[in-house]
Structure 1
Amino acid sequence: MGEVIALSIGKEKAFTWKDKMVHSAIGKEKVEEVLLTVDGFVGDGVANKAFHGGKERAVCYYPFEHYKKWEEEFKIKLNPPAFGENICGTEFTEHNTYIGDIFSLGKAIVQVTQGRVPCSTISKYNEVDTFLSRIVETCYTGYFLKVIEEGMVNANSSFQLIERPQDKVSVWDATKVMLLDRKNKDAMLTILQIEQLAEDWKNRYKKALEKIN
């Protein structure tokens, strides 16, 4: 069982980076309670729909364990939700969470569908130019979940694993192939066998395989 460190929502807004205006929904704010629907948390939003949002990316989760690593590496203080995540929680990192894992989150039921493809907004928002490249190198990206059962979630909710359909491909495994190993045919074929994998990632792997063949 994991602990929810921060429950956060927010819509697109602007912030300044190197004297330029950036529009993003990364700057989410903590809330005490909010309804989670199949389309996401009520009051939440995204700016770039190519990488965020949609029913298979209704919830963005980022492991609290990584915060200490990044703070030590970049000599900065990071406060959740520094990565634009809805849920910052404990116990379930990319290494020990598997594609298809089903969790209870407050009164809702959610399922892991894919890792996260990070973008430069993370670097800009946290004012660390190398943040994006380091997240890609480590595959400490966080992950997305879809909603199986809608329900209320509050800041004191637990994040509890209730079912694991497969234990061969972790979020980290799938993300590593997606970001760093797009020529690994055997790995992609294995990942594509996972029924619960998001359609977007299925399509990305299939396109990568076509380039290999």
Structure 2
Amino acid sequence: MTGRVLSLQVGAAATVPWRGRRVPSAIVKKPVAGRIGLSATGFAGDEQADLTVHGGPDKAVCCFAREHQLALGEELQHRFDPGAFGENLTIEGLADAAVHIGDTYTLGGAVVQVSQPRGPCFKVAARWGMRTLPRLLSHGLRSGWYLRVLDEGDVGAGDALELVERVSAVSVAEVTRVTYRDRAHAAALEAILAVPELAAQWRDALLVLRERQRLPLGDPVQD
């Protein structure tokens, strides 16, 4: 199973407008020409504005499926270019339902592993002035996913994202579904928690969810 990097983006920490004020964010990212280094903490030149919810080894690389950008563009009558949702890699040929937690891929000169879905937060809405956008992403099971880096290397647009090992039957879309839409699905929740490669922060949120099945509506995990 292989995808392709349509575009690679990095960005600096800045601010975006939100409800009459400006909030820190690095969601605005720009395409990179050529190849750049990928380390355990992410791409060279890429920054995070809020380290409490962004960055770290389990969130070294953010990916988003190009097919979902195009579909959302049609739904909202808006053009979303690669990088529109703050992702580092815009991917062709793979989407959330086909990517599993713990999947290991070669990516250019690097080796990476899927760690968790992306949890769309209000900064996606702030980026585009569309308050419903985070819910459209999460509840539409098209939020994207994060990678951890197993072996560092250089990466560029056009590189293949080639599956070399699959260790679980749990897709990114399934984790997103149980987290945001079907929280009372106990068996599915247990299946997700049984995957050791799931990122610790997401696991902790699901453990809370398991203990409090009647949580009010809202997003327990943000990116």
Shorter-chain TM-score category?
Answer: over 0.9
Question: How far 1:49 sits from its partner (Å)?
Answer: 2.4
Paired with 2:207 and 2:114, the residues of 1 have a C-alpha distance of 20
Aligned residue in 2 for 1:149: 151
What is the distance in 2 between the residues matched to 1:116 and 1:139?
Answer: 10
- C-alpha distance in structure 2 between counterparts of 1:144 and 1:98, whole Å: 11
The alpha carbon displacement at 1:105 in A equals 0.9
Question: Secondary structure of the equivalent of 2:212?
Answer: helix
After TM superposition, the structure 1 stretch with the greater mean CA deviation from structure 2, 131-140 or 65-74, is 131-140
Q: Which amino acid aligns with 1:189?
A: E
Task: For 2:19 and 2:119, locate their aligned partners in 1 and report how far apart those are by CA, in whole Å.
Answer: 24
Q: Partner of 2:41 in structure 1? A: 39
* Residue identity opposite 2:39 in structure 1: T
In structure 1, which of residues 35, 57, 60 is the aligned counterpart of residue 59 of structure 2? Answer: 57
- Displacement of 1:116 in angstroms is 0.9
* Contact preservation (8 Å) 1:5, 1:155: yes
Give the paired residue count.
212
Structure-1 residue corresponding to 2:210: 209
Determine the structure 2 residue equivalent to 1:90: 92
- Residue number among 73, 76, 79 corresponding to 1:74 in the alignment: 76
Q: 1:131: Cα distance to partner?
A: 1.2
RMSD of aligned Cα (Å): 1.6
2: CA distance between counterparts of 1:52 and 1:154? Answer: 22
Asked if 1 retains the 8 angstrom alpha-carbon contact of 2:16 and 2:126, the reply is: no
For residues 8-32 of structure 1, what are the alpha-carbon distances to aligned partners after superposition, in whole Å with 9 as ceiling and x for unaligned? 1112112345653232100011112
Q: What CA distance in whole angstroms lies between the structure 1 residues aligned with 2:189 and 2:52? A: 21
User: Counterpart of 2:132?
Assistant: 130
Task: Output the CA distance in 1 between the equivalents of 2:101 and 2:131.
Answer: 30
Aligned-pair identity in percent equals: 33
Q: 1:129 to 1:208 in 2, by over 3 A?
A: closer
| C-alpha distance in 1 between matches for 2:182 and 2:192 | 13
* 1:190 equivalent in structure 2: 191
Q: Match for 1:114 among 116, 127, 130? A: 116
Cα separation, 1, equivalents of 2:158 and 2:126: 30
Q: In structure 1, give the amino acid aligned to 2:80.
A: L
Q: What is the distance in 2 between the residues matched to 1:145 and 1:30?
A: 19
CA-to-partner distance for each residue in 1:14-62, whole Å, 9 max, x for gaps?
2345653232100011112210001111111112223321101101000
Q: TM-score, normalised by structure 2?
A: 0.90
Give TM-score scaled by structure 1 length: 0.94
Provide, for residues 61-96 of structure 1, a one-character-per-residue CA deviation record: whole Å limited to 9, x for no partner: 000111111111111111110010000011111111
Q: How big is the shift at 1:103?
A: 0.8
Q: Which amino acid aligns with 1:45?
A: E
